[in-house]
Structure 1
Amino acid sequence: MAQTSSIPTPDGITWHVAQQGQGADVVLIPSGEGDHASFTILSSLLSSSFKITTFDMPGFSHTTCPPDALKDLSPAKVATQIIGLMDALSIPTATFFGCSSGGLIALALGKHHPNRVRNVIIHELPLSPPPPILALRNEQDDEILVQKCRHIYANLMNEDKAAWEALGSEYHERLDRNFVVWARNYFPLVENHKLTKEDLTGINVTWTVGALSPMELYFDNVVLGVQAGIQLRLLPSMHFPQVSVPEVLAAHIKGCVEKL
């Protein structure tokens, strides 16, 4: 079972962290929902082989931060914040997994902090966010914003709605607050970041897309991967394999780490 703790870092962030297991360090980075609890089953499955660390992102759920921690956000800025957490936890190097914006942050860690990264495992990067996502940045009514995000996450990002709902009422109550934090602060992380093949140079990357996701949403992942010489793989899921197929994702991550 994971042990949770509050870890302060010099940048003023107090991280809510969950850790379990022993062995090589594997760090699981949340995406736009910002809450580590979607990794609960995955962390448990991996903890028999590795030391798993995950956390709530700055400003989300139980992780608190000063206002400047959320200003002018970019994958590089969040990567630097995570390095501060790694320092506090005495994690010298790690494997990083992230889907969606979590994947962008994982790649930024590999680019800007290569001496701290063994390898990066990513799933479905938001290289060209679809119109329903882009429209959220202009929604000023928090209640309407939350309703739209609930629908998008339950129906467009997860093929197993029951598994998504099974994360529990407390989790989804936290997400209602997190949706607003994301829309008001984290949008630049996705919207203003244009990934190129040069950004992938020198990083040990394993990249997947979901076999059940609409091709139009993530075909740009395939194109960029080919340009960078990376052969993408398929997972039998949509956007959040840690929710719908955690056993498959655990085997995938385990294989990636053991090949190092």
Structure 2
Amino acid sequence: MATTLSVKTSDGINWHVEQQGSGPHLILIPSGEGDCESFSKGAKILSATFTVTTFDMPGMVRSPCPPEQIQNVDAPLMAKQINGLLDELHIEKATIFGSSSGSWAAFGLAAYYPERIQSIIVHEVPLVIFPSLFELLKLDDKGIVDNCRPLFENFFNEDAAAWNGIGKEYHERLEKNYVTWIRGYAATKNPFPLTNEEMKRRPVTWTIGALNQIGVWFNNIKKAHELGIEMELLNSKHFPYVSVPEEWAEHVKKSALKYL
């Protein structure tokens, strides 16, 4: 069973952290909605092999923070924030998994703090922000929630039952997290300013979901090819750790152990 911690870092973030298992350190960074409960099934599987640490992102319901920590959020800022958390947790070296905007943080950690990163595992990296998300900035909070709810349930997920099955409390938190995501994370004009050289400072394992329309993440395929990284597929869309947690956990385990 996971141990829940509340950890405050020097930047004023009060992190909701969950840890379980033993072995080499594995960090799971959630995507835009910012709540680590989506990892619950996969983290439990991985805890048989790793010390698994995951957390809610700054500004989300369970990780309150000063306003400046969720303004113009980009890969360098996210990496700096999480690096501070790793310091507080006394985690000297780890493998990082990041999904969606969590992959910004994974690449950022590998680029700016390579000495503490074994390798990174990323899924569907938003190399640019979808233009439609900027349109949501024009809406009030209720409008943002009303648009994000079906976006996550039906576009980002192929298994709505699994997504909804995470639980009532989780989805109640997302009602607020969606607003933080749109106004603080998705509003950033250039969230991923890393060069090709910076993206290759540590070993990278990169996947996209096989059940997406190819155009959605085609820029990931192009960028991985440009970097000489072999793209892999998972039998999912954007949330493999929700819809196919066993397959996802096996992929993460194999990828992490390869570089230990």
The equivalent of 1:193 in structure 2 is 192
Secondary structure at the aligned position of 2:90 is classed as: coil
Letter in 1 for 2:99: C
Aligned length: 259
Question: Could you report, residue by residue, the CA deviation over 1:193-249 in whole angstroms, capped at 9, with x for unpaired residues?
Answer: 345423322220000010001111100000000000001000000001010011001
CA distance in structure 2 between the partners assigned to 1:17 and 1:222 by the alignment: 32
Q: Distance between the aligned counterparts of 1:45 and 1:173, measured in 2?
A: 26
Q: What is the aligned-residue identity percentage? A: 45
Q: Distance in 2 between matches of 1:164 and 1:143?
A: 21
Correspondence 1:59 to 2:59: yes
The alpha carbon displacement at 1:187 in A equals 2.0
Secondary structure class of the residue paired with 1:216: coil
Q: Over residues 112-149 of structure 1, what are the superposed CA-to-partner deviations in whole Å (9 max), with x where a residue is unaligned?
A: 0001110000000112443433322332x111110100
5+ residue gaps, structure 1, are none
Cα deviation, residue 191, structure 1: 4.5
Amino acid at match of 2:234: L
Kindly report the root-mean-square deviation, in angstroms, between the aligned alpha carbons of the 2 structures: 1.3
Give the distance between the partners of 2:189 and 2:28, measured in 1 at CA.
Answer: 19
Structure 2 counterpart of 1:153: 152
For residue 156 of structure 1, what is the amino acid of its counterpart?
A: F
SS where residue 18 of structure 1 aligns? Answer: strand
The answer for the alignment partner of 2:210 in structure 1 is: 211
Q: State how 1:125-140 maps to structure 2 within 5 Å.
A: 125-139=125-139
User: C-alpha distance in 2, partners of 1:166/1:116?
Assistant: 35
Structure 2 SS opposite 1:217: coil
Superposition TM-score, scaled by structure 2 size: 0.96
Q: Distance in 2 between matches of 1:206 and 1:144?
A: 36
Partners in 2 of 1:189 and 1:37 — Cα distance? 25
Q: Which residue of 2 aligns with 1:163?
A: 162
Are 1:251 and 2:250 matched, yes or no? yes
CA contact (8 A) 1:210 1:235 kept: yes
Contact 1:17 1:53 (8 Å CA) reproduced: yes
Partner of 1:182: 181
Secondary structure at the aligned position of 1:48 is classed as coil
Q: Is the deviation greater in 3-12 or in 123-132?
A: 123-132
Structure 2 unpaired stretches of 5+: none
Q: Is the 8 A contact 1:16 1:55 kept in 2?
A: yes
Look up the SS of the partner of 1:208 in the other structure.
strand
CA distance in 2, matches of 1:228, 1:73: 25
Q: For residues 161-204 of structure 1, what are the alpha-carbon distances to aligned partners after superposition, in whole Å with 9 as ceiling and x for unaligned? A: 00000011110000000011111111245744345423322220
Distance in 1 between the 2:162 and 2:203 partners? 31
